[in-house]
Structure 1
Amino acid sequence: MGYQLDTGICHRIHNATPNEDKLFSGSHTLQVLSLKKVGKQTEGVNLPSDRYRIVLSDGAQFLQAMLATQLNEMVVEKHLTRFTIVCVERLSCNYVQEKRLIIVMALRILGQEDKKIGEPVSIDASTSEAMTPAPEKPAQKLVVPPSTSSSNVQPVSRQHPKGNWHPIEGLSPYQNNWTIKARVTQKSELRHYSNTRGEGKLFNVTFMDETGEIRATAFNLVAESLYPKLEEGKVYYVSKGKVNLAKKKFSNVMNDFEITLEKNAEIEECLETSNLPMIKYSFVSLAELQDLAKESTCDVIAILKEYSDVSEITSRTTNRTMKKRELTLVDKSGFSVRLTLWGTQAENFRPDEQNPVIAFKGVKVGDFGGRSLGMIASSNMTQNPDIPESHALRGWFDSSGSEVAFQSHTSSGGSFGGTGGGGFNRSEIKPLLEMKLEANRIPESEEKPVYFSTRAVIMHIRGENIAYPACETCNKKVVEDGGSWRCDKCDKTLSSPTYRYIMSFVVSDHTGQLWFQGFNEVGETVFGKTANEVIEIRDRDEAQYNLLLAKACCKSYNFLLRAKRDSFNDNNRIRYGVSRILPLNYKEECDALLTLMDTPWGQQGLKLESNDMAY
């Protein structure tokens, strides 16, 4: 099939001025003459990922350009190769160190040719008809002055070079004259800080365009001026910021660079918001939190099951009082998790409806009392987002999810026989006797726990002190005080406590018996009831309570155990705490046995039998 190239378009692109929006966003049929991987640095620009230089021909002339990284997959999968005919649908033209840099932002593959079309020649930049245009002043720019009051910020009128903004992924410290068009996807609070150089204020925002995202931070007077002018969800032209290497310790944004908004930074709201994404998520299920490292960040989407009132705690490091609120989240994986809001976000939180869907971006993973989540400065929270994952979760919860008994993450376990963290490991299941012998070899000076996987049957549950009265906010024990309950940690009075399990029970297998200790999640799995329900039965009918204890026995579970030396009344002993308890899934157990039979170990019996038959 013959293709008609847009002859003369390379010359027009090479000599275009920044105002030619139709040229940069128009469709042009061109041929790829070559593709070359240029690594992480090109034209004096350090780039966060590999880039490809592409040579495009219109049949008469050819020019060089860079391929935007979102198009790299076309090259890797060999859809875009030499002599491919493409329709270039969007371009970006920038000047880096006085050199013109053309970036192909979007293209469509039309077909493939076997050879070059025409006899194209290189465009000689020295005979270019157009000079590098001097920057024009944009319309209604917000120029941040070195003043103490944001009221002194005056808009400056100029025509903004629309269509010639710089892609976020192409920003680097080597550029000065750039403008990005991006959406604010996250905006932090205006916070106070104190260090060796003094005190001040700061806030940060995350900007996103179709090529990536970048974090920007403003300090002191600039922060006070810009803070009320930037709003989440709106699109802005941003220029004259300082690009630096990102401080990964303070940011979870996937970019090697970040922007500092100084006094000469210019920001203009853009009403042209097409082709710009909202927030990009990479969701993990609540069940998968067990596999994530502590202090890592992730995106989750879940149903808000319940939330607590605002409480106050005092930081041990800064001795400052902080407000917090805890949300309980659930999803299709059958797990629930606590997520903590802090400061004004905790105070201002209001659900849009009963049990809304909430999407969280960049929340931090913790391991307090099992896996937990917490909002940090760069996190983002959106209720009922208009995305497919939200609609699917809403439909599931309304149809059946509200009746599910959810499982909580327990304290993180580890590599068994080691000192790390992890989950139940079927391949390393140990009998109770073998596990006890290994645990007894733990040195008395060893402070870290050792983790084991085992399978055993519950034989007896101690009925005394099976649960304790707890604060619904911090889970600490509360004390009865004249008909009400007092929490010293939260410094508040409750009308009634929330009971939480604290269990001791004996388990047995073919090698022996051991005492295990478990907390709230263990009790809910064993009894299938909350601690409040069990305590109500105990106080109302002792016979029914004893029957409940008896029915919970003689059942097998898979256990993840945390073995650690403990001293009680000058008696040194090993305590076995249950980190996870899993009811047996018999299909899963049968599949595991069938897999074991296919191993060399499992084939031993068949070989012996065949040898006997040979005789």
Structure 2
Amino acid sequence: MSSSTCSVGPLEQPPPDATGPADPLELTPYAIRSINVGDDIPPPLLQLLSFEKMVGDPNDNDRYKLVLSDGTYMQVAILPTKAIIVFTLDVKKTDCHLLGKPRYLFKEQEEQMLGRETPPPTKRALKFGADLPSPQNGPSENISPIKSLNPYQNNWTIKGCVTNKRKMHKYNTPKCNGQVFSFDIIDEEGCEIRITSFDKIAELHYHRIEQGASYVMSKGTVKDANKVYNKLNSQLEIILTETSVLKRCALDVVGPDKKTRFTPIDELLTTTNNTLIDVIGVVVNVGEISVIRRKDRCVVNKRIVKINDMSTLTIDVNLWGPSSEQLGNDLKNMHTSGTFVILVVQNARVGYFNGKVINASASTAFEINPSIPEAEPLRLRGPIQQSLDPHPSALHCKNN
């Protein structure tokens, strides 16, 4: 029979950061796998590869077998007509060619489809519209501590709480370009590790990962951490692949309290340039957006936010690109209205431009008015009166 492309329910609009209109025949990537691990995803666009009535089962009448594909994976599903199933079927196109190069998600289904008659349904048969079991070789309860990971280990499962999720951002290299995002997790023993994904894998997981939520995950490439961009204590990091499986935990991981070591602004006077640091301070000024032309002739927006800490030294935090607009506008409005603002800046780099500065990047995380012990002294101190200005500035110091 001919193939047709269908979706269950109306198609969801692409996320705001999607580029360009979606191709109406572009299948939802990795939807089959996401459904099997229990993810709550928008109605997917799938291709129906086959649909036939099953025979040989005396206990059930009119059971139908479907083979569905998302372009990467395909899966056999059983549709029992005795069950009451309510769903919307929106046929987009009929008589179309095979989209993508799908392979079976379950090995036993592949073996069953290789020319053999379909055996009677068993307890493992998957029912379309019913609760689905987790895929084979997915996360198990045999959890390994993060500290036990090594680059030569393939079969591992870890569980942890997301402590820092970074924004998706684009990268450009001489060989390729794409998009990337990363997040950090901590386990019950207090061990941390960074997890990074690229391109389509990043698109798949970005909206599923929530800061503060806990996940069980398995299958990924464990490699040596790039300490130029990663300042966690872990010497390793994980790169997610097509076979990686992430599942949100019903119960959150409760590990030891993570205490961030904030660098006092007066210590930045002697900190080597390009060092990754975390700082906390009171916002004393928010500048306007300026347009900077880089060496590669590309233009980028920049906004300077001045902060000071208990040392009363003031330093510029340079916001670049989207953060100069989104975060920058929020800080500008709050500061202009007279709101007392404490800003946390994590994973930023020490730089030098007419003195020491802090440069934010796509991997920098921000928090406004955090509820942490380190913010209390700043709240008790309150804003420094204008009569005490100008503050001794960390901007005028020796270039290291």
Q: Which amino acid aligns with 1:305?
A: V
Match of 1:273 among 233, 249, 252: 252
Matched, 1:393 2:378: yes
Q: Which amino acid aligns with 2:285?
A: E
Contact 1:295 1:364 in 2 (8 A): yes
Match of 2:38 among 137, 140, 143: 140
**What is the distance in 2 between the residues matched to 1:161 and 1:243?**
18
Q: Which amino acid aligns with 2:291?
A: E
Tell me how far 1:402 sits from its aligned partner.
Answer: 6.7
Residue deviations 1:483-531 (CA, integer Å, cap 9, x gap)? xxxxxxxxxxxxxxxxxxxxxxxxxxxxxxxxxxxxxxxxxxxxxxxxx
1:238 is matched with 217
Contact 1:141 1:267 in 2 (8 A): no
* Cα 1:156–1:355 shift into 2, 3 Å: farther
**What is the distance in 1 between the residues matched to 2:277 and 2:177?**
31
The structure with more radius of gyration: 1
- How is 1:529-544 mapped onto 2 (pairs within 5 angstroms)? none
**What is the distance in 2 between the residues matched to 1:355 and 1:271?**
37
Alignment gaps of 5+ in structure 1: 1-137, 415-420, 422-615
Contact 2:264 2:279 in 1 (8 A): yes
Matched, 1:338 2:323: no
Matched, 1:157 2:133: yes
Matched, 1:302 2:287: no
**What is the distance in 2 between the residues matched to 1:227 and 1:246?**
21
> Which secondary structure state, in structure 2, belongs to the residue aligned with residue 249 of structure 1?
coil
**What is the distance in 2 between the residues matched to 1:145 and 1:298?**
43
2:228 is matched with 249
**What is the distance in 2 between the residues matched to 1:345 and 1:364?**
15
TM-score of the superposition, structure 1-length normalised? 0.41
- How is 1:26-65 mapped onto 2 (pairs within 5 angstroms)? none
2:168 is matched with 190
**What is the distance in 1 between the residues matched to 2:243 and 2:319?**
34
1:291 is matched with 270
**What is the distance in 1 between the residues matched to 2:219 and 2:325?**
36
Contact 1:146 1:263 in 2 (8 A): no
> Which secondary structure state, in structure 1, belongs to the residue aligned with residue 268 of structure 2?
helix
2:393 is matched with 408
Contact 2:268 2:350 in 1 (8 A): yes
Tell me how far 1:141 sits from its aligned partner.
Answer: 5.9
2:125 is matched with none
Q: Which amino acid aligns with 1:165?
A: I
2:340 is matched with 355
Contact 2:139 2:218 in 1 (8 A): no
> Which secondary structure state, in structure 2, belongs to the residue aligned with residue 224 of structure 1?
helix
**What is the distance in 2 between the residues matched to 1:217 and 1:225?**
12
**What is the distance in 2 between the residues matched to 1:401 and 1:332?**
14
* Cα 1:362–1:280 shift into 2, 3 Å: farther
TM-score of the superposition, structure 2-length normalised? 0.61
1:177 is matched with 155
Tell me how far 1:200 sits from its aligned partner.
Answer: 2.3
Match of 2:356 among 347, 363, 371: 371
Tell me how far 1:188 sits from its aligned partner.
Answer: 2.8
Q: Which amino acid aligns with 1:194?
A: N
1:324 is matched with 302
**What is the distance in 2 between the residues matched to 1:186 and 1:323?**
25
1:124 is matched with none
Tell me how far 1:390 sits from its aligned partner.
Answer: 0.8
> Which secondary structure state, in structure 2, belongs to the residue aligned with residue 229 of structure 1?
coil
Contact 2:263 2:279 in 1 (8 A): yes
> Which secondary structure state, in structure 2, belongs to the residue aligned with residue 360 of structure 1?
strand
Tell me how far 1:321 sits from its aligned partner.
Answer: 1.6
**What is the distance in 2 between the residues matched to 1:178 and 1:142?**
25
Q: Which amino acid aligns with 2:185?
A: F
Contact 1:142 1:156 in 2 (8 A): no
Contact 1:239 1:266 in 2 (8 A): yes
Higher share in strand:
1
> Which secondary structure state, in structure 2, belongs to the residue aligned with residue 268 of structure 1?
strand
Contact 1:190 1:202 in 2 (8 A): yes
> Which secondary structure state, in structure 2, belongs to the residue aligned with residue 218 of structure 1?
strand
Contact 2:139 2:157 in 1 (8 A): no
Higher share in helix:
1
Tell me how far 1:233 sits from its aligned partner.
Answer: 2.6
Q: Which amino acid aligns with 2:263?
A: V
Matched, 1:228 2:210: no
* Cα 1:141–1:160 shift into 2, 3 Å: farther
**What is the distance in 1 between the residues matched to 2:257 and 2:294?**
35
* Cα 1:409–1:145 shift into 2, 3 Å: farther
**What is the distance in 1 between the residues matched to 2:257 and 2:366?**
13
**What is the distance in 2 between the residues matched to 1:219 and 1:248?**
18
**What is the distance in 1 between the residues matched to 2:369 and 2:149?**
33
- How is 1:476-491 mapped onto 2 (pairs within 5 angstroms)? none
> Which secondary structure state, in structure 1, belongs to the residue aligned with residue 374 of structure 2?
helix
**What is the distance in 2 between the residues matched to 1:358 and 1:212?**
26
Contact 2:160 2:253 in 1 (8 A): no
**What is the distance in 2 between the residues matched to 1:172 and 1:242?**
10
**What is the distance in 1 between the residues matched to 2:71 and 2:254?**
32
Identity %, equivalent residues: 27
* Cα 1:254–1:376 shift into 2, 3 Å: farther
> Which secondary structure state, in structure 2, belongs to the residue aligned with residue 221 of structure 1?
helix
> Which secondary structure state, in structure 2, belongs to the residue aligned with residue 250 of structure 1?
coil
**What is the distance in 1 between the residues matched to 2:267 and 2:242?**
44
> Which secondary structure state, in structure 1, belongs to the residue aligned with residue 207 of structure 2?
helix
Contact 2:314 2:395 in 1 (8 A): no
* Cα 1:328–1:211 shift into 2, 3 Å: same
> Which secondary structure state, in structure 2, belongs to the residue aligned with residue 248 of structure 1?
coil
**What is the distance in 2 between the residues matched to 1:332 and 1:250?**
28
Matched, 1:384 2:362: no
> Which secondary structure state, in structure 1, belongs to the residue aligned with residue 201 of structure 2?
helix
> Which secondary structure state, in structure 1, belongs to the residue aligned with residue 348 of structure 2?
strand
Residue deviations 1:210-254 (CA, integer Å, cap 9, x gap)? 422222211121112111211223222221111011122332333
> Which secondary structure state, in structure 1, belongs to the residue aligned with residue 340 of structure 2?
coil
**What is the distance in 2 between the residues matched to 1:267 and 1:382?**
26
Contact 1:169 1:211 in 2 (8 A): no
